[in-house]
Amino acid sequence: MPQVSHSQTIQASPDQVWAILADVTRLPDWAYTAGRFPHLVEGRYGSEQTTGAGTLWVGLSVDGQTATQQITTWEPAQTLAYTLQATENAPLQISQTNCFTLEPAGDQTHLTWQVDWALTGGFSLGSLLLRFSGNRAFEEMMVGSLEKLKQVVEKETTVPEPADSTDLSAD
């Protein structure tokens, strides 16, 4: 099974990164939109359960594909893993597991995203192209998405500088 991995350092605590990473409704906020894969435009929960192993995430992409992922590992601020359960309206069927590992690094978080994938459908020109360029396509998506995640997290967790407390009204 092909595997690709990418890491990003984010100027925020693991808890702050986790708050965005582990919320399926936030996926479109940091999904890479310029890559070869159709990007997400909506993320929602597939059942009443919204946390923990067994939670279902449903993502709708810009081209109408619907992917259902099941959380397999849920260790807050440490590890999040999910496996593709089904993809509707996809030209190619893929088996895919994603794993995010968060490691504290001082006042930063080192985030690693690993994807294990394999084509599961029949042979086609599209499948042949993905077999030859798949890791590059996944890496492009991962690099772009993690850079966007970094921007979102750092923007939302930046604490504004305190206002100058000098009292100008004093004589």
What are the pLDDT digits (tens) for 86-142? 777 765 667 789 999 999 999 999 999 999 877 666 554 444 455 545 567 778 889
Look over the chain and give the mean of its residue pLDDT values, rounded to a whole number: 84
110, 12 in Cβ contact below 8 A? no
- pLDDT value for 125: 45
The amino acid at residue 105 is A
Q: Give the three-state DSSP class for 11.
A: coil
Question: Would you give the DSSP letter of residue 75?
Answer: E
E strand or H helix that includes residue 117:
strand 108-119
Q: Is the pTM of this model over 0.75?
A: yes
The Cα 9–Cα 101 span in angstroms is 12
What domains can be seen in the chain, in order of their start residue?
3-157 (3.30.530.20)
32: closest CA among 24, 45, 41?
A: 41
pLDDT-above-90 percentage for the chain: 57
pLDDT recorded at residue 122? 57
